[in-house]
Structure 1
Amino acid sequence: MTLGAEPNVPIRFDTKLQEAPVPIDRRGFLETAALALLSQATTPAFARDAHIADGAGRRVGVPAKVQRVLPAGPPAAILLYTAAPDVLIGWTRTPRPDEKAYLLPDAADKPEVGRITGRGNTANLEVVLSHKPDMIIDAGSTTQTYVELADRVQAQTNIPYALLDGKFDAIVATYRTLGQLIDREERCNKLATWCEQTMRTLRSRIDPIAADKRPRVYYARGPRGLETGLAGSINVETIDFLGATNVARGAPGGLAQVSLEQVLVWNPEVIVTLDKAFAESVLNDPAWASVDAVKARRVYLSPRLPFGWVDSPPSVNRMAGLWWLAKLLYPTLFPEDIGALTREFYALFYQVNLSDADVAKIMSG
């Protein structure tokens, strides 16, 4: 690689699987008066444009220069890397060596900075201030809970905090808003245009397909394949976008633990999974043998380098898997070379050029 430019079996929901904002400091977030003074002394004035609306409709003031941006969570870190790796302060989780191989070296080696939102929150007020960001960016839910968190963090640090819409079908608008916030409009508009054209092309071929001709899909997570994203969940948005029927149609949104009995009742035609162990075992597992997807050997392991193609985390990395998933679900409609499309995406978004060996490794999951 070179560098370059029926009776239903009840579903048991596990609320622990839901991502939710964690207060930035479990002790109440307000620190010492000294830290408050530090924030006033070291954070930028809102100078460039006080009227840029973020994904939640909040008016966010931005500094005259944006040179250091702190991501609030993993989706924001990936979004920022693709748009402007030079302004990304660091990662919410240090990339593994196999992930670093598909990122720009200087960016891949940036430090771990913790996270403000979601499970495993580690960034309290002192940590945030220690990184001296010009701005904080989050990408994900724009519900009132997250709006209140953004407002609170901004008020207590005096650091502009923008909340961007993380929904898959909002990615075009999100990139364009990000470009305005960090003064990288040309780059972000280029990425937005690629996403927009790709999504339009795929939907133009899929939309004419009758509902009863679209594949029934089960999204399997975990080594037993019994964690899934319910219809409407951010984890399965690309499956929904491509018009497939997600068989897990319980209460809307979120992740859930389900039983094997329920999967047998759903009887999906296609299984997409994140877990290599499950992908390797399910085709020879007698308990799954009656499932149509297993009988037809239509069980597909999602690529995951440097980030997941369907999920994990749900950010712009899902665009990498859109053509791949479309070809799996509708093989006769999409004759395009997935290797060439993968190279195109990685060169534009991750800014690395892939060899044939790189593509083969990525596609192996």
Structure 2
Amino acid sequence: MRAKRIGVVGAGYVGLTTAACFAHLGHRVICADADAAKIEALKAGEIGLHEPGLGELVARNRERLEFVTDNASALSDVDFAFVCVPTPTGPDGAADLSAVEQVLSEVPAGTRVVLKSTVPVGTAAKHPGVVSNPEFLREGHAVEDFLRPQRIVIGAQDERQAHEVAELYAPTKAPAVLTDNTSAELVKYASNCFLALKLSYVNTLAELCEHLDADIDGVTEGMRLDDRIGASCLQPGPGWGGSCLPKDTLALLATAKAAGVDFATLEAAVSANRHQPQRVVDRIREELGTLHGAKIGLLGLTFKAGTNDLRDSPALVVARLLAQEGAELTAYDPCVGEDRPNISTRSTAEEAAAGTDMLVVLTEWPEFAELDWPELAGRMAGPRIFDTRNVLPEEKVREAGFHLIRTGR
């Protein structure tokens, strides 16, 4: 395939990954973002995102990759213009499309526009000629997911346009789903909201296990071997968060409401998720007797491992609730160095544990399973640990003298 000239508007997780990966596939890419400081950093080779492989990909393909601050450069004289700007949740729960609409208003006539931002179902239909190409990139695995995707979804009013966009992804050898714009938009929401349903289900199941004296690990092991269920999203935790699931569930609920559809199952999943951080706090209070004046060390602040993203992190919700009841908080996260409201961050897990009454694992960073448990126990006022993610080596932790509490036990 002949190399194309591709414009990308937006240099966040999706936009920067899209730009770097298309450059890696041999295309010439110009990536625009209104944040001048971000663009200057990218020109200097500074990524700012904790995304494995992305920095190396940008550095390796600099001769085919240009960064600018003006959208006109990314929208003019290109074969394809990819829109990768944020669509945050608005006051009514629906997606805020102001950034998308602004970019679309700047597109010169005749430019082939590919909408990769997650937008409400029906958005592309209002803009004739726009191709829908939703992204399915997991933070912490974005490069892998772009270059080795499970599927490519493309929606268009014109089948020829859909095939032209699909051809850009041909080197990945991924199956392409070619459909209409509206269905392509719905695929993204349907996928993310199904994952939210599954996560809320397993978290509520873990709570039930605690009441019935069952073991959630044994229960999910028996579930994941069923091909109809699968192994993903069966790990319990303090709730789901991040930049996608909270936003997308609310957006789909708003879409359903506007269409007159009662999406009770999704409403229940959102409600169950809001309950999870408080449930963690309740168990901590039960162990310590009171939270007022309690010294608690938090292991993990990001919404999941493999990223430095704190958006809608359930760990921060737990921290806020603990602080409201008078707890004194220290924390260690491999990707968070600055203090947060009511949280004093430390540079190591050992420093975060010093003098605390309890440690609470809130993010499933793999390195937490390799900590020096006798060292940690010796630094604490009371060797208790609550593993909300069930990622710690149970036998080693107990041998070090810890009282270990686990989710779903």
For Structure 1 versus Structure 2, the TM-score category normalised by the shorter chain is 0.3 to 0.5
Of structures 1 and 2, the one with the larger relative CO (CA 8 A, separation 6+) is 1
Larger CA Rg, structure 1 vs 2:
2
Using the size of structure 2 for normalisation, the TM-score is 0.33
